[in-house]
Amino acid sequence: MTESPVLSSGEAGANIIEVSKEARKRFLGPLHPSFNLVKTIRGCLLKTLPADCHERANGRLGISLTRVSDGENVIISHFSSKDELIQANVCSTFIPVYCGLIPPTLQGVRYVDGGISDNLPLYELKNTITVSPFSGESDICPQDSSTNIHELRVTNTS
């Protein structure tokens, strides 16, 4: 028996469009002070994810976070509830200053966007397909026609 996905690609696409529309309602778009990315994402996930999403995601989904206390990258892959899975996603999307000054907590620990410490973490237990909007060594990324021999790595973005 094949297990149905936690979220269909159609629902995911609809959520992206909803977030974009919410951001574009304002004069400065997502930079307007009244746009709350964390609240919008939390609302989309609460509305869309099924009650057992945490059970389906356990061991199959790795969410990259940056622990505020020491700046280390942490990958969370086990969730005890739907709320904990959503909170892990909220922490993962929290960009300091842009989303606020006080980072959210997960299990009593403050976390921010995992891309701050490692934009392309490797999930040690599984095969990982890396996707990046930057050209480089990712499995899926734009082609770079440059023959420059110099390379700059900033938090593992290439």
Question: If phi over 0 gives left and psi between -120 and 50 gives alpha, with beta otherwise, what is residue 122?
Answer: beta
Question: In Å, what is the CA distance from 157 to each residue of 9, 12, 104?
Answer: 25, 24, 24
- Residue 18 placed within a domain: yes
- Residue 157 placed within a domain: no
Say which range, 50-59, 76-85, 143-152, has the weakest mean pLDDT: 143-152
**pLDDT-based confidence at 56, cuts 50/70/90?**
very high
Provide mean pLDDT across the span 19-39: 78
pLDDT at 94: 93
- Residue 122 placed within a domain: no
Contact indicator for 95, 65 with CB cutoff of 8 Å: no
Rounded-to-integer distance, Cα 151 and Cα 42, Å? 37
Rounded-to-integer distance, Cα 65 and Cα 116, Å? 8
Number of domain units in the chain: 1
pLDDT at 6: 58
Say which range, 58-72, 77-91, 137-151, has the weakest mean pLDDT: 137-151
Segment (H or E) for 83: helix 82-93
Provide mean pLDDT across the span 66-72: 96
The pLDDT of residue 77 is above 80: yes
- Residue 146 placed within a domain: no
pLDDT at 124: 65
- Residue 138 placed within a domain: no
Residue with token string 């505020």: 68
**pLDDT-based confidence at 1, cuts 50/70/90?**
very low
Instruction: Select from 37, 17, 11, 30 the least CA-distant residue to 89.
Output: 37
Position 59, amino acid: G
Residue 33's domain comprises 9-116
Tens of pLDDT, residues 99-144: 888 999 999 999 999 989 987 777 665 677 777 777 777 777 787 7
The dihedral over CA atoms of 10, 11, 14, 19, expressed in degrees to the nearest 10, equals: -140
- Residue that wins the pLDDT comparison between 81 and 128: 81
